[in-house]
C-alpha cells in the first residue's frame, strides 16, 4: 500500500492489530532508520512482564514495510509465549531488518542496528534469527551489552541447534509417555522432515534411543551427511511421501513453518507430531483438526525452546550443563501441557497458550 506520492504506508489494519486486536497489545514498537548504511528496522517489544524482552533479529527482504511490521508484531508476541513456557525471566521481543542480507548486510549497518538496540537500554535483548548469524551478533554486540548468540571467542555460546534438538527430543519422549505410557522411542518409526542444523542432531538422539528413522531433505548434502554415517536410515523423496509413510509413529517437522495444514493433516499417518520448526500450524483451527484425528501435537514453541534457553543463559556467562538441565525440563513442561489439555478438553496448543498467559498475568500482578 502506498500514499499519493507512492511512498509505502503502514495500513490501518497493522495499527488496528497493535492497539485493538487480540494479536496486539504490544508495549512498544520502534521504527529504526540509518540512511548512511541503509538500515531500516523494526524492534517490537510485546511484553516485559517477566523481564527484558528477548528474541532474535530477522533479516529479510520484505515486500513492504507493512509486512515487516506485521511480522515483527507477530514474532515478538510468539516470543512472549515461548519465553514464558521455557520458564525464563524474559518477556517477548523480536526485531526485523528490512532488505536482502546478501545485498545490504555490512558491518556498518549491523553496528548502526546495535546502536538502536543500545538505545532501548536493555528493554530488548537480541540474538540470531533467519538471515542473521553468530558472526553478525559479534558485530552487533560491539555497540551494546544486550546481544546474545555470539561466538565462543567473543564470550558467547555459539550454535544453539544442539540444545534445540535435545529439547525437541525431550518433548518427543514426553509425547511417547503420554500416548504409549513409556518415554522411549525404541522400535518406533520416526520421520524427520529437514535434517539441517537441528534435524541432524535430532536424528542422532533418535538412533541412540533405538528408533527406526526415516528422513527427507531438499538438500542432497544434508541427506548424505546422515546416510554416510548411518546407512540404516531410510530416505524418502519429499515431505509429501514422509507424512504418508505406512506405520509412521512420529512426524518431526524440522524445516519450514506451516507444515501442518488443510492438505497435510488429513493424510498424516503419524500419531504424534513433535518437531523443531517454528509456526507449524498453518492457521488457527489446525490444532483442533489434529486433535479430532487423534493425533497428539506437541506445541512447537514449547519443544523448540532449547535455543532460546541457551541464548538467555549466555547473558549470565554460558554454562552448557546448566542449560542442558533447563532444556531437560521440556519433558515435564510437555507432560504438563498434555495433562492440562486433557483436563480442560482443549487441544495442547491452546493449553500451552493458557499456561503461558497465566504465568505472564501472575508476573504482572506480582
Ligand X SMILES: NC(=O)c1ccc[n+]([C@@H]2O[C@H](COP(=O)([O-])OP(=O)(O)OC[C@H]3O[C@@H](n4cnc5c(N)ncnc54)[C@H](O)[C@@H]3O)[C@@H](O)[C@H]2O)c1
Catalytic site positions: 94
291 phi, psi to nearest 5 deg: -60, -40
**Member of 47, 83, 132, 161 binding ligand X (CB under 6 A):** 161
* CA separation for the pair 273, 279 (Å, rounded): 13
Least distance (Å) from ligand X to the CB of residue 27? 24
Q: Is 160 in the site for ligand X (CB under 6 A)?
A: yes
Q: Is 214 helix (H, G, I), strand (E, B) or coil?
A: strand
**Member of 52, 91, 299, 307 binding ligand X (CB under 6 A):** 307
**Member of 52, 55, 156, 194 binding ligand X (CB under 6 A):** 194
**Member of 179, 256, 336, 355 binding ligand X (CB under 6 A):** 256
Q: Is 164 in the site for ligand X (CB under 6 A)?
A: yes
Contacts of 257-264 with C-beta under 8 Å, sequence gap 24+, read: 257/282, 258/282, 259/193, 260/286, 260/290, 260/297, 261/286, 262/286, 262/289
Q: Which residues pair with 57 in a beta bridge?
A: 95, 128
Burial class from Cβ neighbours inside 10 Å (0-12, 13-18, 19+) for residue 214 reads: buried
**Member of 96, 265, 277, 323 binding ligand X (CB under 6 A):** 277
Q: Which stretch binds ligand X (CB under 6 A): 19-27, 53-61, 271-279, 336-344?
A: 271-279
Q: Is 132 in the site for ligand X (CB under 6 A)?
A: no
Could you tell me the three cell numbers for 191?
520421520
Least distance (Å) from ligand X to the CB of residue 16? 28
* CA separation for the pair 263, 285 (Å, rounded): 13
CA 82 to chain CA centroid, Å, is 8
**Residue nearest ligand X (C-beta atom):** 196
Beta-strand pair 212-216/234-235: parallel
Count of residues touching ligand X (by CB under 6 A): 24
**Member of 132, 147, 170, 239 binding ligand X (CB under 6 A):** 239
* CA separation for the pair 47, 51 (Å, rounded): 8
Measured from the CB atom, the residue of 112 and 193 that comes closer to ligand X is: 193
Q: Is 199 in the site for ligand X (CB under 6 A)?
A: yes
Q: Which residue has the cell 508495549?
A: 27
195 has binding-site annotation: yes
Q: Which stretch binds ligand X (CB under 6 A): 46-54, 112-120, 215-223, 336-344?
A: 215-223
Q: Which residues contribute to the annotated binding site for NAD(+)?
A: 194-199
| Residues of this chain that bind ligand X (CB under 6 A) | 160-161, 164, 193-199, 216-219, 222, 239, 254-256, 276-278, 304, 307
Amino acid at each position: 500500500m502506498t500514499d499519493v506520492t507512492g511512498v509505502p504506508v503502514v495500513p490501518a489494519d497493522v495499527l488496528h492489530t497493535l492497539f485493538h486486536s487480540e494479536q496486539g497489545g504490544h508495549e512498544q514498537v520502534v521504527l529504526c532508520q540509518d540512511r548512511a548504511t541503509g538500515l531500516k528496522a523494526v524492534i517490537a517489544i510485546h511484553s516485559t512482564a517477566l523481564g527484558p524482552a528477548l528474541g532474535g533479529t530477522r533479516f529479510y527482504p520484505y515486500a513492504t514495510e507493512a509486512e515487516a511490521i506485521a511480522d515483527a508484531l507477530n514474532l515478538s508476541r510468539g516470543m512472549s509465549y515461548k519465553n514464558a513456557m521455557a520458564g525464563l525471566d524474559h518477556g517477548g521481543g523480536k526485531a526485523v531488518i528490512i532488505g536482502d542480507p546478501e545485498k545490504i548486510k555490512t558491518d556498518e549497518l549491523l553496528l548502526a542496528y546495535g546502536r538502536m538496540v543500545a538505545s532501548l537500554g536493555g528493554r530488548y535483548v537480541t540474538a540470531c534469527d533467519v538471515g542473521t548469524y553468530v558472526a553478525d551478533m559479534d558485530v552487533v554486540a560491539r555497540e551494546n551489552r544486550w546481544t546474545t548468540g555470539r561466538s565462543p571467542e567473543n564470550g558467547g555460546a555459539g550454535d544453539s541447534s544442539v540444545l534445540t534438538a535435545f529439547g525437541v527430543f525431550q518433548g518427543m519422549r514426553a509425547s511417547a509417555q503420554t500416548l504409549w505410557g513409556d518415554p522411549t522411542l525404541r522400535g518406533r518409526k520416526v520421520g524427520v522432515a529437514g535434517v539441517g542444523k537441528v534435524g541432524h542432531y535430532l536424528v542422532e538422539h533418535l538412533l541412540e534411543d533405538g528408533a527406526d528413522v526415516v528422513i527427507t531433505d531438499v538438500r542432497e548434502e544434508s541427506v548424505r551427511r546422515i546416510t554416510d554415517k548411518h546407512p540404516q536410515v531410510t530416505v524418502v523423496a519429499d515431505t509429501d511421501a514422509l507424512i504418508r509413510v505406512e506405520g509412521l509413529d512420529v512426524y518431526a517437522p524440522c524445516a519450514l513453518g506451516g507444515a501442518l495444514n488443510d492438505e497435510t493433516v488429513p493424510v498424516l499417518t503419524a500419531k504424534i507430531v513433535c518437531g523443531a520448526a517454528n509456526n507449524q500450524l498453518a492457521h488457527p483451527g489446525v490444532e483442533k483438526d489434529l486433535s479430532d484425528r487423534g493425533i497428539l501435537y506437541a506445541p512447537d514453541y514449547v519443544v523448540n525452546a532449547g535455543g532460546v534457553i541457551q541464548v538467555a543463559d549466555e547473558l549470565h556467562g554460558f554454562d552448557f550443563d546448566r542449560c542442558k538441565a533447563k532444556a531437560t525440563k521440556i519433558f515435564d513442561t510437555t507432560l504438563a501441557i498434555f495433562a492440562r489439555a486433557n483436563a480442560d478438553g482443549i487441544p495442547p496448543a491452546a493449553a500451552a497458550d493458557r499456561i503461558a498467559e497465566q504465568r505472564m498475568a501472575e508476573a504482572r500482578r506480582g
